[in-house]
Structure formats: C-alpha cells, structure tokens
C-alpha cells in the first residue's frame, strides 16, 4: 500500500506505474510513503524521490524499490533523527525505509541488546538553552520488518549519558558527568550499570554507581565473554592533559556489579575514543598521536589481555600509520582492523585504512592503500557477519553532503581483508555526527 500526503492510499500488487486518484495542483507539496510493507519476511521497500513540490507536469520520478534484506542498520545523527536501513544481500548496500524518528538533542549513543530485539539511545542533558534531563530511550526492533517502536524511557537523573556499551550478559554500562542540567566544568564522573530485561527491554539500575574523578573524555569496551569492562579516561585534547588511565573492571555475571582491577597509566598522547576490542578477547587496541592530536599520523598500540585478571600487557611499540585514527573497528573474525582518517586538510585526508592482525602476536600491518570516503568519516562499524563495513561521513569543505557508505570485505587470497565500496545512502541533510548499530 502506497500513501500520498497521508490521505490517499493505493494498493500495489505488481510492478508498474501507480496513479493516485486525486490530482494535486501546481505548487502543492507531496510526500509518497509505504503505508503497508509486504508480508514477506524481511522484505522492505524504500522510496526514492518521494517528496517535493508539484510543478506544471505529472511527477514521474518517484520509485519504490523492494528487496529481501539480511539485516537492519540504524543510524542516529546529530540533527536529532534515528534512521533505518535494510542491509542488501551480497553487497551490504543500505536501503532506507520507514520514517525517521525524532530523538532528543545531541543523541549520539546507540547500542543493541544481546539478540538484537532492542535498541538503546542515550540523550545527554547538557543541551544549550534547555533544561532537559538526561535519558535512555528503549526501542523494540521488529525482527521481520526492522521497524522500531518506542517502549520506554529511563530518566538518568544526575547522570549525563555520554558513553554507553552493552555486555553479552545483558548489562548496559553508562559513563557520564554528574550534575544537572549543566554540570560544573570539573564535576565528578559516574559509571552506572543497568540490567536489561530480555523480554521487555526495560532497564533497571543495579549495583552501586561508581563516582570517578573528572576526566573530560572516555571510551568503553567489554570483552566478548562479558567478564571485563575497560574504561579509558583522560582530559584528551587539553593543553595540560592529565595522565590517561585505562582500568579493567571485573563484571559480576549475576548482578553486573563492577570491581576495579588493574589500571594502566600512560602519559603518552593517547587519542580519545579510539579503543577497539578484539572480538576473540585476546587483544585491546589503542591509538596514540605521533606528534600532536591534529597531525595526520598515529600509532596503533596493541595490548594482550590476561583472560583471568583483565590486566593489559603492551605488545611491541605499535604500528605507525598515515591517519589521525579518529576511530577504529575490528572485524568479527579478529583478522582485521579498520581505521578512519578525518584530518580534513585535503580531500585525501578523508579515508579508511585496512590493517591485518597477526593472529599470534596481535601486531597490525597495513593492507593495501587507504580508500577515499568523499566526506569526513565520523564513525565506523563492522557487521556481525564479517562481510561488510559501514562508515557514516560528515559534510566537509571538500564534500558538502553526508552519506552512509557500505564496503565489502574481500575474501580473495590476494586481497583478503581489503575493502571495496559496495553502496551508499545519502543522508537527508548535511549531517554532523553519526552512530551506527546493526541487527542481523
């Protein structure tokens, strides 16, 4: 069923041209949408050129494309929208569907529950000119259609949900500053734990929230066995940076309570938010700037994880790369890392690089040449099947639009692990900031 402007519905059973019964006058706005999707499992329909203004002729370029997808991709953007895409079989190309959902301002934390039945969206309370509390919104994911339904919201009183990560055991860890609505510049940070109800997606605070010294920035990672949470904290980018700390917290498998364990302290110029967990739980990867945080040059630093204690041991001196390494992601096989560069001095600084992981030592080495992304890459995510990599790009001075890019991971012997562009979806505006989550 197709809908025009919310008041004309036409059933469609076959390919062909569709004519709505009531004509619109010249100058009228129109929006065509899919009112009722097909009944086939995971068949979604995207609309191209679905809105505009009637000129002096019939509109003939609206197209409805339907396909069976292998999973769903969700993107939350800095202009307060939650977007939905289908993942095309073979190419991974994103197929937009549904109506974008409005989110709270600056919502850039998006994680999935174990099993993929729910999405969690964190919204900070530090919003310019408003006195809104921080919150975590819960959305149910329809496994057949990928559609999202808001089911509940948790108000995070006294906690700005700046970073979130989900453990395989069903605990949501939330890190952020204290104070509400606008925290003092050096107020303490909080690390809170929520238990996830597997049936309803509801969040319940569990254990005692930890109060930590103000750091200014952080990154979170959980081991794939759910035993340890790593918290990387530091006043990144400051003219007088404090030492960076990386603490391993043991996770109680029943309650989710956290117990601080080994801490790594470094005065090296580590880069914020650039921590990646080996999906097999053997290694943890950090990045450091070779000179200053703004230089196109970084070092990938591998650490071995002690599976019994969570302690980290540096592996070698790291691998220098030509990238500012703003974000890194590991493929689910543990064989490759992917690193984005968004230094943006030239268009050549907007790129993604593939790295091979030595399966014995954990040391990484470059694979092929970096690929240009035609936009400043803001976030990167590997899909759980190990076939695709997704990158959300921001508009930049070199590329005025933003996109969601899909890449396939090569399995050919000569090019294994390297990326090939395989599709993209244009964002509805020149967006800034993206966070991605996948359900398969």
Of residues 124, 166, 148, the one with CA closest to residue 74: 148
Q: What is the Cα–Cα distance from 411 to 116, expressed in whole angstroms?
A: 26
Residue 179 has pLDDT above 60, yes or no: no
Sheet holding 327-330, edge to edge: 327-330, 336-342, 350-357, 364-372
* Residue 299 near residue 319 (C-beta atoms within 8 A): yes
Mean pLDDT of the chain: 86
Of 294-298, 299-303, 387-391, which gets the smallest average pLDDT?
Answer: 294-298
Domain with CATH 2.130.10.10 in the chain: 108-265, 268-440
404 φ, ψ (degrees, to nearest 5): -110, 115
Q: pLDDT digits over 154-169, tens only? A: 988 778 888 899 999 9
329 φ, ψ (degrees, to nearest 5): -145, 145
Of residues 222, 223, 268, the one with CA closest to residue 245: 268
* Residue 296 near residue 324 (C-beta atoms within 8 A): yes
Q: What is the pLDDT of residue 126?
A: 54
Structure tokens at 86: 């289908």
Q: Which CATH class is domain 108-265?
A: mainly beta
Structure tokens at 209: 């929230």
* Residue 326 near residue 271 (C-beta atoms within 8 A): yes
Half-sphere exposure of 228 (CA within 13 A, CB side): 26
The CATH fold of domain 268-440 = Methylamine Dehydrogenase; Chain H (2.130.10)
* Residue 419 near residue 411 (C-beta atoms within 8 A): no
Q: Give the rounded percent of residues in the chain with a pLDDT score beyond 90.
A: 49
Q: Give the rounded percent of residues in the chain with a pLDDT score beyond 70.
A: 88
Q: pLDDT digits over 28-67, tens only? A: 898 887 777 776 767 877 777 788 888 888 888 888 877 7
Which of the four pLDDT bands, split at 50, 70 and 90, describes residue 148?
Answer: very high
* Residue 329 near residue 335 (C-beta atoms within 8 A): no
């Amino acid at each position: 069923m197709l809908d025009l402007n919310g008041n004309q519905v036409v059933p469609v059973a076959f390919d062909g041209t569709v004519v709505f019964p009531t004509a619109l006058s010249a100058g009228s706005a129109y929006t065509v949408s899919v009112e009722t999707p097909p009944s086939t499992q995971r068949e979604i329909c995207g609309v191209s050129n679905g809105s505009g203004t009637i000129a002096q002729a019939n509109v003939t370029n609206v197209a409805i494309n339907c396909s069976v997808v292998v999973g769903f991709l969700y993107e939350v953007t800095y202009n307060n929208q939650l977007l939905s895409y289908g993942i095309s079989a073979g190419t991974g190309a994103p197929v937009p569907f549904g109506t974008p959902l409005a989110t709270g301002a600056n919502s850039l934390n998006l994680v999935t529950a174990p099993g993929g039945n729910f999405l969690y969206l964190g919204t900070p309370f530090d919003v310019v000119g408003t006195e809104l509390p921080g919150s975590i919104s819960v959305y149910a994911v329809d496994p057949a259609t990928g559609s999202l339904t808001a089911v509940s919201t948790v108000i995070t009183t006294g906690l700005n949900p700046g970073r979130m990560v989900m453990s395989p055991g069903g605990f949501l860890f939330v890190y952020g500053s204290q104070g509400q609505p606008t925290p003092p510049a050096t107020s303490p940070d909080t690390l809170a734990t929520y238990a996830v109800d597997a049936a309803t997606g509801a969040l319940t605070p569990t254990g005692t929230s930890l109060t930590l010294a103000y750091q200014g920035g952080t990154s979170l990672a959980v081991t794939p066995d759910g035993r340890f949470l790593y918290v990387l904290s530091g006043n990144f980018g400051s003219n007088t940076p404090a030492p960076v700390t990386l603490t391993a917290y043991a996770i109680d498998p029943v309650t989710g309570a956290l117990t601080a364990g080994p801490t790594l302290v470094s005065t090296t110029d580590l880069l914020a938010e650039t921590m990646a967990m080996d999906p097999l739980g053997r290694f943890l990867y950090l990045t450091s700037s070779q000179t200053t945080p703004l230089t196109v040059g970084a070092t990938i630093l591998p650490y071995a994880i002690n599976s019994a204690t969570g302690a980290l041991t540096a592996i070698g001196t790291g691998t220098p790369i030509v990238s500012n390494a703003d974000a890194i992601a590991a493929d689910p096989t543990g064989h490759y890392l992917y690193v984005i560069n968004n230094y943006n001095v030239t268009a050549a600084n907007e790129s993604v690089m593939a790295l091979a992981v030595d399966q014995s030592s954990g040391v990484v080495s470059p694979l092929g040449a970096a690929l240009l992304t035609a936009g400043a890459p803001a976030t990167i995510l590997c899909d759980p099947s190990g076939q695709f990599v997704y990158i959300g790009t921001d508009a930049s001075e070199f590329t005025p639009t933003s996109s969601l890019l899909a890449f396939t991971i090569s399995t050919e012997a000569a090019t294994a692990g390297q990326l090939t562009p395989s599709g993209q979806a244009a964002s509805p505006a020149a967006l800034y900031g993206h966070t991605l989550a996948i359900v398969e």
